[in-house]
Amino acid sequence: MTRLVLIGAVVAVVGGGCGKKEEIPARTDPAGGNPPALQPPRAVVKRVPCKLKFGPIAAALEVDLSEVRNLALDAQQLYDEIVRGSPGPTPPAPDCPVVMVVNKKGNTFTYFQLTPSVKEIRLRTQDSREVELVVKNQEPLKIELWVNTDKPIDIDVEFKDGQPGQPKS
Over its C-alpha atoms, the chain yields an Rg (Å, rounded) of 18
Whole-angstrom distance, CA of residue 20 vs CA of residue 75: 18
**What pLDDT tens digit does each residue of the chain (169 aa) get?**
333 332 322 333 333 333 333 333 444 445 555 555 555 555 667 788 888 888 777 888 888 888 777 777 888 888 999 999 999 999 999 999 999 999 888 888 999 999 999 999 999 876 678 899 999 999 999 999 999 988 888 999 999 876 554 444 4
In a domain, 16, yes or no: yes
In a domain, 38, yes or no: yes
In a domain, 81, yes or no: yes
What residue numbers bound the domain in which 91 lies? 3-159
If one counts every other C-beta atom within 10 angstroms of the C-beta of residue 86, the result is 9
In a domain, 166, yes or no: no
In a domain, 165, yes or no: no
In the chain, which ranges are continuous DSSP H helix? 75-82
**What total number of domains does the chain contain?**
1
Collapse the DSSP code of 128 into the 3-class scheme (helix H, G, I; strand E, B; otherwise coil) and give the result: helix
